[in-house]
Structure 1
């Protein structure tokens, strides 16, 4: 008997590129206008195409799903939609966490974007990065914050499974996810402390906004947060995935984490008190080596082979995955990424074969 399952949806950010030479194309406004989408800078309804900070990007969003096959089909639909919309203006979309070549990105022409770039200067100008955001349905803010407090130690393994951004400004960064390093420059980004309650979450975020450092609440860039627009908990730590199957895997594990965390909360089990300073190191290790090196095991606080830490994660959420009917699918998806490697592995393999970062970009174009 499959238990009632929480909804899950995925937002993916893509780069707009020339299908011939991989050059970045600052044409998001044209794509959106011809597609009939409104050129918003933040998703409104969880589906369709959206603008991002820079004109070389598009964001997609699936409808909420409960079944993983349904989610995979939705990701196929949204990726195809983005590819078709770009193709209509002679461009393509690439599933890359960073643009591999040196570039001066172009702001998408919205007042908010211009305010962000004026305030954050080089930090904003260099944010041509693409992530994968997973939304998991929650009953209310109290449940969301209870889960937020309890998922913290398990977020770095999600990054390790999704890494897809080794190249930056024309060279190998040495990181499997350099996107996460660039993203961490935002003053509000990364791991977060314990909130304790929905009221505690509101106090912290209100205090952050009161400093008048952030442009608005959309810049609360925690690795996971309470969504401002949907009744969801939003996971923001992952790179956009090279393969949509990896996005399904991240989404399944995210839902399992929320289910597990809520059960712990209802049973009166408190969150792990691990400090933010430690979590930053856990995240850094995940960004550096992805799933091919060592990660920090949340159960011990010590390094262990990435495969062992991922297995710890599956064990942690195993009961929830079993009840939702997702355990076998998760193990299948983990086996697939283990066999073929992550997006970062793929990018490095293509570069090793060709010596050409433009070939890396072309290889990552959706629907190639």
Structure 2
């Protein structure tokens, strides 16, 4: 059974105002001093962010429990220095991000200018693969389905105090970086690695770690890393995204082993599907991965469940995934919940305060 790990980036905010706080170094120091799971927390590009990474898990219930546990630990450490954590993919309130200290981050700030001031927070899912060849075969096969995961996770409707009219504005801001987005079919691990080496050789990116494809081979682990999701408001949604990601990797691996050709959709069409998912989330239409034509979001989500159904059934995750998707379609993803909170309270500060509470649920 394939193992799965999740990396989540959380927003540090002032409990009283909801405004982002540049206190990641202090929170990390508290976590290190505490000595309990301190090794799961890491700094990120901006000092208003705190990242954690779960351990690889083969049982999705255990992964879900670890996500909850890490969120609670992050909240505890943050609370000890007077701030809170919110699972928000962008800050609803205006923010002037602070680039963290370190040679790498300072190089990025110098190289990319104003782009490095974009404070966005994602959820990355690592799924184990047997080899680089299998991993690249998976990446080639899964591309059209990734926007569906993005729509399910969408949790960033507000930017600098305004409603963007997008469900996932984080994903649109993220596209400003030079190495992001969907990829063409590679066909082999050798071609994948050659492409990455050519990208690094341009000098536009610093190293292989800055190849930010929607799905890529991990540098550190024998995994495929899916990077399309917003950080999810609820831990249960993050666990659902991880469950669907494993099903998608397993299904794609089987297609690759069977010699099935990838969809052949151009990067241009894949980018349009990603844009549609970012704009609509689950409230309107998405592009169906097979036809690249508009259909209701519920229909496309059902298509994803059908596509990965056999793989999910074999790991005992099908019913959990079906129930999770049905709940998301009924209740709404993070973007819908944020907008409903704004409509009810009329205050982005109240939106953040409520989302702090949702983060712990």
Same fold (TM over 0.5): yes
- Give the direction of change, closer, same or farther, for the CA distance of 1:324–1:47 in structure 2 (3 Å limit): farther
Query: Which of 4, 24, 28 does residue 28 from structure 1 map onto?
Result: 24
- For 2:349 and 2:180, how far apart are their aligned partners in 1? 30
Residue 125 of structure 1 is matched in structure 2 by 117
5 Å-filtered alignment, 1:295-306, equals 295-306=286-297
Q: Deviations over 1:31-69 (max 9, x none)?
A: 1112118xxxxxxx9961000000000001111111111
Match of 2:298 among 275, 283, 307: 307
Shift of 1:22: 0.8
Deviations 1:287-306, CA, capped at 9 Å, x for gaps: 00101110001111211001
SS state at 1:238 partner: strand
C-alpha offsets along residues 250-275 of structure 1, whole Å, 9 cap, x if unaligned? 11111011111111111111111111
Question: Residue 186 of structure 2 corresponds to which residue in structure 1?
Answer: 195
**1:108 positional shift:** 0.8
| Contact map agreement 1:151 1:257 (CA 8 A) in 2 | yes
Cross-structure match for 1:6: 2
1:304-347 deviation digits (Å, cap 9, x = unpaired): 00110111111111111111111111011112112211000110
Equivalent residue in structure 2 for 1:290, among 257, 281, 285 = 281
1:97 matches 2:89: yes
Give the match for residue 163 of structure 2: 172
SS of equivalent residue, structure 1 residue 237? strand
Gapped regions of structure 1 (runs ≥ 5):
38-44
Matches within 5 A, 1:115-154: 115-126=107-118, 128-154=119-145
C-alpha contact 2:31 2:38 (8 A) present in aligned 1: no
**Alignment partner, residue 262 of structure 1:** 253
- Picking from 319, 336, 361, the partner of 2:310 is 319
Contact 1:46 1:62 in 2 (8 A): no
In the TM superposition, residue 162 of structure 1 has moved relative to its aligned partner by 0.2
2:173 is the alignment partner of 1:186:
no
Equivalent residues of 2:12, 2:86 under 8 A apart: yes
Instruction: Name which of 85, 92, 97 aligns with 2:77.
Output: 85
Q: TM-score w.r.t. structure 2 length?
A: 0.97
Give the equivalent residue in structure 1 for 2:234: 243
Tell me, in whole angstroms, the C-alpha distance in 2 between the residues paired with 1:29 and 1:188. 28
- How do residues 208-287 of structure 1 correspond to structure 2 at under 5 angstroms? 208-287=199-278
RMSD of equivalent CA atoms: 1.5
- Per the alignment, residue 204 of structure 1 pairs with 195
**How much has 1:367 moved relative to structure 2?**
2.9
Q: Structure 1: how far apart are the matches of 2:360 and 2:140?
A: 38
Could you list the runs of 4 or more consecutive aligned residues of structure 1 that deviate by over 6 angstroms after TM superposition? Answer: none
Q: Per the alignment, in what secondary structure is the counterpart of residue 274 of structure 1?
A: coil
SS class of match (1:36): helix
Please list every run of 5 or more consecutive structure 2 residues that lacks an aligned counterpart in the other structure. none
